[in-house]
Amino acid sequence: MSAIIKDIEIIKAKTTKINDVDFDNLKFGHVFSDHMLECDFKDGEWQAPKVVPYQAITLDPSSKIFHYGQSVFEGMKAYKDAHDKVWLFRPLENFKRLNISSKRLAIPELPEDYFMEGLKALLEIDKDWIPTNDGSSLYIRPFVFASGNGFHASPADEYKFIICTAPSGAYFAGEVRVLIEEKYSRSANGGVGFAKAGGNYAGQFYPTQLAIEKGYQQVIWTDDNTHEYIEEAGAMNIFVRINDTLITGPTSDRILDGITRKSIIELAKSEGINVEVRKLKVSEVVEAAKNGSLKEMFGAGTAAVISPISGFGYQDKDYDLPKLEDTYGQFLKKRITDIQTNKTTDPFGWRFEVK
Ligand SMILES: *Cc1c(COP(=O)(O)O)cnc(C)c1O
C-alpha cells in the first residue's frame, strides 16, 4: 500500500467542550476531546482520513461488527512537557501491531501515513486537551471495525478506522489481589490472543466477574492446555520477581506482544537487572511464595504502565507478597514515565515528538 496523504481535511467543531472539563479530577477514559479521526474503507481501498467533530456514528443493524465481531484496537498516550511539546511513546509499534491484529481478523491493513499523519493532525487540533498534571495524559484509542452490511458470515466489504482521545488522570488500580485461573482461558494456540481484538476482552469479563465475587480484582491467565504456566495478568503482561531476577513469559499466539513489556525488558537489562524471558510455572511461583524468594509481581500495560500485585489465590489458598520499601516495579515505572514525559534523556529513541 503506497497511498500517501498530503493534507488531511479538517472539519472543526463549532464549539469546544473543554471548559466543562475538570482537569484536576480526571478519571480514566471518561470524557472525550472535541475531535476524532475518521477513515473509511470502501470500494476496495482506504479513503482519505478526515478530522471531524467527535460525534456518534450511525450503523446498519446488519453491520458485521455486531454479528461477527471483526474489530481491533490500540491504546496509546500523548504527553505535554513543561515547554508545551507533545510526545508519544513508540507510536510505530502501535501502528504495526494494529495491522498485525487486523490481518488476523481479515480486516484490511492501513497505510502507515494514514495512521501517523492522521494521529498527528488530530493531536495538533486537540493539543489543549492534553493534560499536564503529574501522571495524567491524553489516552488515545485507535480502532478498526467492520461497518459493512449483511448477515453472510464472511469478512465485511466496508470498515471504519477511528481515533478518539480522552484526557485521563493517573491510572491508579491500587494494589490488586489476583486469582490464578485454572478453568477458563483468555486465548489458545492458533487463536487470536496475540491480536488486540475486541472479542478477547468480551471473553475475559465473565471469568473476571467470578474472580471478583471471590474477593479478587483480577485474573492471572494460564496456558489453555495445562493451566500450569503463568501467561498474562488481566489485559496486561505479567512480570514476576524471584530473588533479584525478573521473569516474564515469551510472546506467542496466546500472549500479546506488549510495548510496555518489551520496554521494561530492555530498560531493566540496561539498568543491570537480571531479566529472564521464559515459561514460568505456577508451581515455581507458589514454591517461591512459600520459601520467601518471591519478591514482586506486577502487570505491565500502557494504561497503568506498571500495576503492582499484592497477593494471589491458587487452589483455594492465598499467598501474600512481601511489602518492600524499594521495588523494581516502582523504579521501572518512574524511569519509563520520565522518558515518556521528557523529564530525562531517552537513550532508546522511544520518545516521538508530535510537530
Ligand atoms: C494491550 C494489552 C497488553 C499491553 O500492551 P501495551 O502495548 O503494553 O499497552 C497486554 N496484554 C493484553 C492482552 C493486551 O490487550
- Averages of pLDDT over each 10 residues, the chain, 355 residues: 71 97 92 98 97 98 98 98 96 98 98 97 97 94 98 97 96 86 97 98 98 97 98 97 98 97 98 98 98 98 96 98 96 97 97 96
Say if ligand 1 is within 6 A of residue 197 CB.
no
Asked if 123 contacts 11 with a C-beta cutoff of 8 angstroms, the reply is: no
Q: Rounded to the nearest whole angstrom, what is the distance from the C-alpha of residue 242 to the centroid of ligand 1?
A: 23
In a domain, 3, yes or no: no
Q: Does one domain contain both 127 and 204? A: no
Of 135, 168, 201, the residue that ends a domain is 168
The minimum-distance atom of ligand 1 relative to the CA of 76 is: 9
Q: Does one domain contain both 156 and 241? A: no
- Please give the full DSSP string across 183-216, using - where no structure is assigned: S--S--TTSSTTS-BHHHHHHHHHHHHHHHHTT-
Rg (CA), the chain: 21
Q: Does one domain contain both 87 and 234? A: no
Of 168, 202, 222, the residue that ends a domain is 168
Q: Does one domain contain both 140 and 205? A: no
Nearest CA to ligand 1 atom 14: 235
Query: Which of 237, 263, 266, 337 most suits a substitution to test ligand 1, by most atoms within 8 Å of the C-beta?
Result: 237
Q: Rounded to the nearest whole angstrom, what is the distance from the C-alpha of residue 73 to the centroid of ligand 1?
A: 11
Q: Rounded to the nearest whole angstrom, what is the distance from the C-alpha of residue 12 to the centroid of ligand 1?
A: 32
CA separation for the pair 17, 31 (Å, rounded): 10
Amino acid at 266: E
In a domain, 355, yes or no: no
In a domain, 2, yes or no: no
- On the 0-12 / 13-18 / 19+ scale of CB atoms within 10 A, 18 is middle
CA separation for the pair 185, 187 (Å, rounded): 6
Residues 6+ away with beta carbon under 8 Å from 130: 78, 79, 80, 86, 123, 137, 138, 167
Nearest CA to ligand 1 atom 5: 258
Of 139, 168, 197, the residue that ends a domain is 168
Measured distance between the N- and C-terminal CA atoms of the chain, rounded to whole angstroms: 25
In a domain, 154, yes or no: yes
State whether residue 128 is helix, strand or coil: helix
User: What is the residue range of 275's domain?
Assistant: 176-340
In a domain, 347, yes or no: no
Q: Does one domain contain both 73 and 141? A: yes
Task: Residue 228: give its domain's CATH number.
Answer: 3.20.10.10
Q: Does one domain contain both 53 and 140? A: yes
Specify whether the backbone of 187 is left (phi greater than 0), alpha (psi in -120 to 50) or beta. beta
The minimum-distance atom of ligand 1 relative to the CA of 193 is: 13
Nearest CA to ligand 1 atom 15: 235
Q: Rounded to the nearest whole angstrom, what is the distance from the C-alpha of residue 187 to the centroid of ligand 1?
A: 13
CA separation for the pair 204, 199 (Å, rounded): 9
pLDDT of residue 2: 44
CA separation for the pair 344, 355 (Å, rounded): 20
- On the 0-12 / 13-18 / 19+ scale of CB atoms within 10 A, 322 is exposed
Q: Does one domain contain both 17 and 65? A: yes
- CB-CB neighbours of 319 under 10 Å: 17
Q: Does one domain contain both 124 and 184? A: no
Which DSSP letter does residue 250 get? P
How many domains does one find in the chain?
Answer: 2
Asked if 78 contacts 341 with a C-beta cutoff of 8 angstroms, the reply is: no
State whether residue 150 is helix, strand or coil: coil
Q: Does one domain contain both 162 and 233? A: no
pLDDT of residue 34: 98
Q: Does one domain contain both 213 and 310? A: yes
In a domain, 4, yes or no: no
Amino acid at 203: G
What's the pTM? Answer: 0.96
In a domain, 206, yes or no: yes
Q: Rounded to the nearest whole angstrom, what is the distance from the C-alpha of residue 352 to the centroid of ligand 1?
A: 20
In a domain, 160, yes or no: yes
Task: Residue 162: give its domain's CATH number.
Answer: 3.30.470.10
Nearest CA to ligand 1 atom 11: 236
pLDDT of residue 175: 81
Q: Does one domain contain both 219 and 316? A: yes
Q: Does one domain contain both 134 and 196? A: no
Kindly state the cell numbers that stand for 25: 479530577
pLDDT of residue 7: 83
